[in-house]
Amino acid sequence: MLGKRFNRMAFGSAVGVMLMAAAACGSGSSGGNTTASEAPGGEASKGALKVGLAFDIGGRGDKSFNDAAYTGLEKAKTELGAEIKELSPAADGSNRGDLLRQLADAGYNPIIGVGFAYGEDIKKAAEEYPEIQFAVVDSASNAPNVTGLLFAEEQGSYLAGVAAATKSQSGHVGFVGGVQNDLIKKFEAGYVAGVKSVKADAKIDIKYLTPDGDFSGFKAPDKGKVAAEKMYQDGADIVYHAAGDSGLGVFQAAAAAKKQAIGVDSDQRQTVKETDLQPVIMTSMLKRVDVGVFEFIKAAQGGAKGGSNTTYDLKVDGVGLSTTGGEIDDIKDKLDAAKKDIVDGKITVPAKP
C-alpha cells in the first residue's frame, strides 16, 4: 500500500528482525550486501550515545535529502536519548574528511556521512579510527567498521513515472537531475521506465544542471527554474526533479506555468514552506534516508558492527510515493499493482538509462 508515510509497522517489523539478528551475533559480517530486512543490528542499550552526522552539500534546510537524514538523527535524540552533533561541508565539499575527523576527535560514535561523495573520506576515516562505527548514505563499503546505506531509487522513481504518465494530459513530461552522475541517473532510468510502461510514445525531456563532479547542481534553484521553465514552455505538464535544493526552482516554474511537479527524497508538499508552491507538488518520491539513519544508529547502540551494505527498496517501503494532498489517490490501484509487480519480480526496473 502507498500510505502517506508508508506502512511504518511493516517496515519497523522488517528492521526489527535485522536488529535482533545482530544482537544474537554480537558483530557484523564479512562485507556482504543485504536488504533492509536482513541487515545486522541490535537492541538499543542504555549507555551513553553520541552521534555525529556530516551533511552533504547544502546542509540542513534543503527540504529534501539532508533534511531526511536529520529527521533520523533527531529521532535518535528523542527515542534513544542520543547526544547529537551535525556539521555541514564547505560549498565545494572539500572539507568532508575534516568534518569526519572533527566528529571522531570529539568522541562521537557512530558517525554518518550523508551522500555518496563521502565514500572515500569515510574509508580513510574508518582506517584512522577503527574503534568507531561509520555509515555512509548512497555508497557501498566493505570496511569492517563501515555500513553502506543504499536505496533502490530506480524503483521509487518508476512509480513516479507511472504517476506522471497516468496524470499527464499532454503525454509530455520532464525530468531535472541535479548532477549527471550514476546515482541521479538511477532516478532518471526508473522514471523513464515507469512513464514508458504507461505510455510508450510519451515525450520525456531530460536536463541535468551540472556535469558529474560539479555538485553545485544540487544547490542552484535558479538553474532548476530555468530548466523546468523550458520544459513547461515546450509542452510538458509534469516535471520530476532529483536535484536537491535546486528542486525549489522546479516548483517555482510549475507554479508560474500552472502545471505540476514531483518532489524527491522527502514529502516536499509538507517540507516546502511556500504555500503557493505546495499545491503544484502532486507527489514526492520518498527515499527513507531518515529510517536508514535511525536504524543504523539504533543498531550501533546495540553493539552491531559494520562491514555490510543495507539496501532499502520497495519490499520494505524504503522508497515509494507520498500521498499528501490526495493528488494521486485516484490512481492508487494502478500504483499498488506496479509496486506489487516490482516486489514480486515481474518487473525489473533499470538502474541505468
Quick one: which of 256, 297, 296, 300 has its CA closest to 274? 256
* Residue 30 reports pLDDT greater than 60: no
- Rg of the chain, C-alpha, whole Å: 19
Sign (positive/negative) of CA torsion 321, 33, 67, 222?
negative
What does the pLDDT read at residue 92?
Answer: 87
- Pair type for strands 260-265 and 238-242: parallel
What does the pLDDT read at residue 42?
Answer: 36
* Residue 18 reports pLDDT greater than 50: no
* Residue 27 reports pLDDT greater than 80: no
Which of 88-92, 120-124, 349-353 is the least confident region? Answer: 88-92
Report the distance separating Cα 297 and Cα 111, nearest Å. Answer: 9
Enter the pTM of the model. 0.84
What does the pLDDT read at residue 40?
Answer: 37
What does the pLDDT read at residue 61?
Answer: 86
Report the distance separating Cα 40 and Cα 32, nearest Å. Answer: 11
DSSP helix/strand/coil, 131: coil
Which of 56-65, 78-87, 189-198, 319-328 is the least confident region? Answer: 56-65
Q: Would 8-152+289-316 and 154-286+321-343 be classified into the same CATH topology?
A: yes
pLDDT confidence band for 205 (50 / 70 / 90): very high
Quick one: which of 142, 102, 101 has its CA closest to 125? 101
CATH number of the 8-152+289-316 domain: 3.40.50.2300
* Residue 343 reports pLDDT greater than 60: yes
* Residue 37 reports pLDDT greater than 70: no
Q: Where do the structural domains in the chain lie, given as residue ranges? A: 8-152+289-316, 154-286+321-343
pLDDT confidence band for 249 (50 / 70 / 90): very high
Give the number of residues written for the chain.
353
Which of 58-62, 69-73, 257-261, 294-298 is the least confident region? Answer: 58-62
Which of 89-93, 216-220, 228-232, 315-319 is the least confident region? Answer: 89-93
The model's pLDDT over 256-274, given as tens digits with 9 standing for 90+, comes to 999 999 999 999 999 999 9
Q: Does domain 154-286+321-343 have CATH number 3.40.50.2300?
A: yes
Which of 42-46, 206-210, 216-220 is the least confident region? Answer: 42-46
**DSSP secondary structure, 40-104, as one string:** ------SS--EEEEE--TT-TTSSSHHHHHHHHHHHHHHHH--EEEEE---TT-TTHHHHHHHHH
What does the pLDDT read at residue 336?
Answer: 98
* Residue 3 reports pLDDT greater than 50: no
pLDDT confidence band for 288 (50 / 70 / 90): very high
What does the pLDDT read at residue 351?
Answer: 97
Give the Cβ contact number of residue 262 at 10 Å.
Answer: 33
